[in-house]
Amino acid sequence: MPSDRAGYTLSVYAIDVSPSMGEAMADPAGTGKVAKLDLVKEYVARKCEPKISSGRKTEAVGILSFGGKTNNQANRAYVAQNPEDDDPPYAAVACDVAIQTAKPKTVEVVMNLDVGEHEGNPISALMVALDMVHTHKHTKSWALEVVLITDGESAFRQDEYEDAMDRFDDLGVRLSVVGIDFQPLSEQVDKTKTRNKRLSEKFWRTFVSMLHERISKTTESEEMLPSYETFDEALLDARLPRAAIVNGTVSGIDLHIGSSEIDAEQAITIPIKYSKATMKARPPTLSKAWKPAMDLQAPTKGFQASQSQGGQGSSSQLMSSLINQSQSQNARGEPPNPGDLAAMISAEVKHHSTYVVKKVEPPTPGATQSASQALGSQGLVGDYLDQYNATQTQAGDEQEEAEEEYVDKEDLVKAWRFGSTWVPMEADTFEPLDTQKGVEILGFFPKDAIKRHLLMGEVRFVWPDLTSPKAQIQFSSLVEGMELRGMCAVVRWVLKDRAEPTIGLCLPAMDFPGEGKRLDFMYWVKLPFAEDEHNFWFPSLTKYKTATGKVITEHPLLPTEEQCDLMDELVEAMDLDEYAKEQAKREKAEAGEDEEDEEDEEEAPRWFDPQRSYNPVIHRIKEAIFHASLTADLDANPLGPPHPELVKYFNTPEEIGEKVEDLTQRLKEKLDIKKVPIRTRKKVTKEGLRDDEGYIDIDELFDGTPEPTGVKAEPASQTIKSVKAEPPSPAKPKSRPNAPRFIESDDEDLTPAPPTAEESHPGKTSSTRPKPKPGRLISNEQPLEDFRRVIAGEGDVFRKAIQDLGLVVQENIDASFSWQAYPLAIDCLKEMRETALGYEETETYNDFVNQLEKGVKKGKHKDFWKKFEAEGQNVAKITDEEAAEALNNQEYEDDQ
């Protein structure tokens, strides 16, 4: 019968090792051709791996092979009674691993199976497997199974099939037939196969069908019925990541409604049971091992080295003892086998702590340095000083070790840190909370008022005690009342007396397992305390208020209706569930199935299935452990890529990406999303002062007098001022037009400042200069002059200037009458390109050229692009070689 608990399973794998199993077949994953037996060994090893990893003693496995050597009790007993019989029964059937707790040694035996020399009889193998199950000690609660794996290429006698059916029914053993290159039950047997394979496949179909009909009369459990599977599907299913089956431990506790101390007549106590519904899964942990155990991976090399050096080359005492032990067991004195040495040692270690009180503080670095300098001044220099320092350090270490006081663990006491001090507390200093074991309902409130983010913790199942009818009626009434009113209960949970209480939420649930049946239970979820909840406040994304409280409806930070509509279209187009539905329809159409007119909402396909969303970290570690346990040389056979199921949810489906590509581009343009170029900082080498340097002219260093407007500013890497070797000069005030001057000393120069460019040319004042558009530095009327003026001015605005000039060029081209604005646009492009090269803004210029090409080819002035291409290298995009050459030239000029 099937087991309701974790473990308590017994599986016997009957493996066909007939000569035909050595033939190659295509791997179901499409990675090439592999021998049949190798794939079968992988399948059995993967089936055993979860049983080994669980570590439960109630996971039993047996291995049996047929078609090779003979090793079974039934055959030995018959030969002992009939020694003259040349054709004893159950020949070529070997019990390789007797039924026992699943261990790594079991997988090792499976991987060492070789192709046999005989045609095996699967019926005989089933009879021997049933004998193994019959002799094993187990109870009726165990789940028993025999898995037969064969390719059906061998002819065999079928006279014992009825006896086999009787024993399967009597012992309650489930049979699984896994056929290599067998046709599914929905298809007819392929007539192009060999005669033996056709007959074998038809026999197993009939055998499983008759056994299924026979066992179905005595049981209603689907897990007891035999199955007929194809090997390709079984192997692919075994390779799938599979969550470990863990049945939660059931515990009992009392549910209290009201207080029996206040009013015992109205208080209600319901005995309930609970178990964990969810719990965080963790990957397998690594255990510490003794480092010499790593040498066991290549012990032969260490053994040869030790022999060549007269027995003194062993890497450790452990290695020497193991080599001597293995050599004493080996009569011929050959080098030990790594596997034999690994079996002699258990490398796992345990750690322990030693507590020490340090009484002496180490000397300060300043004191040590002053002492060394003093010794050096006395003539102790060079090697003598170094030797003295080393001696003092060693003496200090010995003194520190001598001052250390070891403390026993029993003499320790826990302490809390309070500011810069420690507050020691004995174990019984404070009395614990006076709590009593139980679950107490504190109150009810509507389920709709629950904040969803509070229900993200671990969950427990809660149900009444099944041995108490009164408890079942009380609990069912409570669940029904809460469900009808849409309420949930806040409860205080205490696991044992004087334990810490936890606040949780009980949500009612009703399940209908069958007609006329109803199962009432609750989900319990832990709620956070006030100290556990962290709030994050941020301003509204749809309303913008000024400092005075005025609500602004139009602002660069507020999305427009067009932007919101585009974003809605993007979200709807990227609906993964709709994509899953369309994909399911395509698969049905390809398979030729008729689509149902009305599909239930619950049965609609979903792209994300929590039941198949495995933790990649856990299963990748399991894959690595499994691969390392079966591979002798990891360098020659490294771990392959992860299973597709582990990375299925890593990326967006390609079809959705292609579907929203145009929509994403439109949204990008409306939101003005641009890539932020990576700004590389040039390394400036600082030169030391020469003998004639040492004074800095502060006035010249911080002089704010602007340079003439006709002179172009150099890049930041080239504007390194020299340092004068002269005393600082008197302070010079900055010259600003129409600004008051203050005389700070008698030596100050009272000569009036020279007039600025605007004062000397009244016709070119700032009031008559064309103004750029809001938010820009460059005007549409004089773009080239404004660009040069901005670049020659102060401040790091090169990228902004290039971007604004690009917008102006594009607008002027669009507004041009015929080709009138083309020459000015080409001049602007040349200036932009030269500036981008000098100030490391190549990505900014290249991005603009890409945008300009798209805009021109979509606009009405498509002939401008021909003029652009005719200019060639003067306006073309900047290559990586040009950018690197410009950067090298700047660094060379800086060095000069």
Classify 590 in phi/psi space as left (phi over 0), alpha (psi -120 to 50) or beta.
Answer: alpha
Mean pLDDT on 136-143:
89
- Written as one string, the DSSP assignment of 52-105 is HHH--TTEEEEEEEESS--B-HHHHHHHHH-TT-SS-TTTTEEEEEEEEE--HH
Contacts of 274 (CB under 8 A, 6+ apart): 250, 251, 252, 253, 460, 461, 462, 463, 524
What pLDDT, on a 0 to 100 scale, did the predictor assign at position 32? 87
Task: State yes or no: pLDDT of 724 exceeds 80.
Answer: no
804: pLDDT confidence band, cut at 50, 70 and 90?
A: confident
Kindly list the distances between the CA atom of residue 239 and the CA atoms of 25, 503, 644, in Å, as whole numbers in the listed order.
Answer: 17, 42, 10
801/840 Cα distance (integer angstroms) = 13
Q: Of the ranges 20-24, 553-557, 711-715, which one carries the lowest mean pLDDT score?
A: 711-715
Residues in the chain: 896
Task: State yes or no: pLDDT of 351 exceeds 80.
Answer: no
Task: State yes or no: pLDDT of 872 exceeds 90.
Answer: no
What pLDDT, on a 0 to 100 scale, did the predictor assign at position 544? 83
Decide if 492 contacts 502 (C-beta within 8 A). Answer: yes
Identity (one letter) of the amino acid at 802? I
What is the assigned CATH class of domain 698-743+776-895? mainly alpha
375/371 Cα distance (integer angstroms) = 6
Task: State yes or no: pLDDT of 320 exceeds 70.
Answer: no
Q: Of the ranges 234-243, 668-677, 705-714, which one carries the lowest mean pLDDT score?
A: 705-714
Task: State yes or no: pLDDT of 561 exceeds 70.
Answer: yes
Decide if 25 contacts 39 (C-beta within 8 A). Answer: yes
Classify 610 in phi/psi space as left (phi over 0), alpha (psi -120 to 50) or beta.
Answer: alpha
Task: State yes or no: pLDDT of 719 exceeds 50.
Answer: no
Going by their DSSP bridges, the two strands 59-66 and 93-101 should be labelled as antiparallel
Task: State yes or no: pLDDT of 371 exceeds 90.
Answer: no
683: pLDDT confidence band, cut at 50, 70 and 90?
A: low
Same fold, 9-239 and 698-743+776-895: no
What average pLDDT is seen over the chain? 80
What pLDDT, on a 0 to 100 scale, did the predictor assign at position 248? 80
Task: State yes or no: pLDDT of 745 exceeds 70.
Answer: no
Mean pLDDT on 517-525:
93
pLDDT digits (tens, 9 = 90+) for 580-638: 888 888 888 887 765 554 454 456 788 888 888 899 999 999 999 888 888 878 888 89
In the CATH hierarchy, which fold is given to the domain comprising 9-239? Rossmann fold (3.40.50)
What pLDDT, on a 0 to 100 scale, did the predictor assign at position 403? 63
Of the chain, the percentage scoring pLDDT greater than 70 comes to 75
pLDDT digits (tens, 9 = 90+) for 42-57: 999 999 999 998 888 9
Task: State yes or no: pLDDT of 720 exceeds 50.
Answer: no
Task: State yes or no: pLDDT of 484 exceeds 90.
Answer: yes
Enumerate long-range contacts of 506-512, CB under 8 Å, 24 or more apart.
Answer: 506/441, 506/462, 507/447, 508/478, 508/479, 508/480, 508/482, 508/483, 509/479, 509/483, 510/479, 510/480, 510/483
Helix (H) or strand (E) holding 252: strand 251-257
What pLDDT, on a 0 to 100 scale, did the predictor assign at position 764? 43
pLDDT digits (tens, 9 = 90+) for 159-198: 899 999 999 999 999 999 999 999 999 999 999 999 999 9
Mean pLDDT on 381-388:
50
742/735 Cα distance (integer angstroms) = 11
Mean pLDDT on 685-707:
54
What pLDDT, on a 0 to 100 scale, did the predictor assign at position 180? 96
Domain ranges of the chain: 9-239, 297-342, 698-743+776-895
What pLDDT, on a 0 to 100 scale, did the predictor assign at position 311? 44
What six digits make up the tokens of 311?
């027995």
What pLDDT, on a 0 to 100 scale, did the predictor assign at position 572? 93
Most confident of 2-16, 469-483, 728-742: 469-483
375: pLDDT confidence band, cut at 50, 70 and 90?
A: very low
pLDDT digits (tens, 9 = 90+) for 219-229: 888 888 999 99
Query: Which one has a higher pLDDT value, 650 or 396?
Result: 650
Task: State yes or no: pLDDT of 235 exceeds 90.
Answer: yes
What pLDDT, on a 0 to 100 scale, did the predictor assign at position 324? 61
Mean pLDDT on 212-233:
91
Task: State yes or no: pLDDT of 27 exceeds 70.
Answer: yes
Work out the angle at residue 835's Cα, subtended by the Cα atoms of residues 831 and 837, and round it to the nearest 5 degrees. Answer: 120
What pLDDT, on a 0 to 100 scale, did the predictor assign at position 197? 94
420/819 Cα distance (integer angstroms) = 78
Task: State yes or no: pLDDT of 703 exceeds 90.
Answer: no
Task: State yes or no: pLDDT of 715 exceeds 50.
Answer: no
855: pLDDT confidence band, cut at 50, 70 and 90?
A: confident
Mean pLDDT on 27-41:
92
pLDDT digits (tens, 9 = 90+) for 255-278: 999 988 888 888 999 999 999 998
Beta-bridge partner residues of 493: 439, 502
696/691 Cα distance (integer angstroms) = 14
Most confident of 227-236, 414-423, 826-835: 227-236
Q: Of the ranges 1-5, 296-300, 399-403, which one carries the lowest mean pLDDT score?
A: 296-300
Of the chain, the percentage scoring pLDDT greater than 90 comes to 36
What pLDDT, on a 0 to 100 scale, did the predictor assign at position 337? 57
What pLDDT, on a 0 to 100 scale, did the predictor assign at position 440? 95
Query: Which one has a higher pLDDT value, 412 or 295?
Result: 412
What pLDDT, on a 0 to 100 scale, did the predictor assign at position 172? 92
CA-wise closest residue to 146 among 95, 71, 203: 95
282: pLDDT confidence band, cut at 50, 70 and 90?
A: confident
Mean pLDDT on 705-726:
41
What pLDDT, on a 0 to 100 scale, did the predictor assign at position 389? 58
Q: Of the ranges 88-102, 105-119, 140-154, 806-820, which one carries the lowest mean pLDDT score?
A: 806-820
- Written as one string, the DSSP assignment of 579-599 is HHHHHHHHHHHHHTPPPPSS-
Cβ neighbour number for residue 881 with a 10 Å cutoff: 8
755: pLDDT confidence band, cut at 50, 70 and 90?
A: very low
What six digits make up the tokens of 300?
């032969």
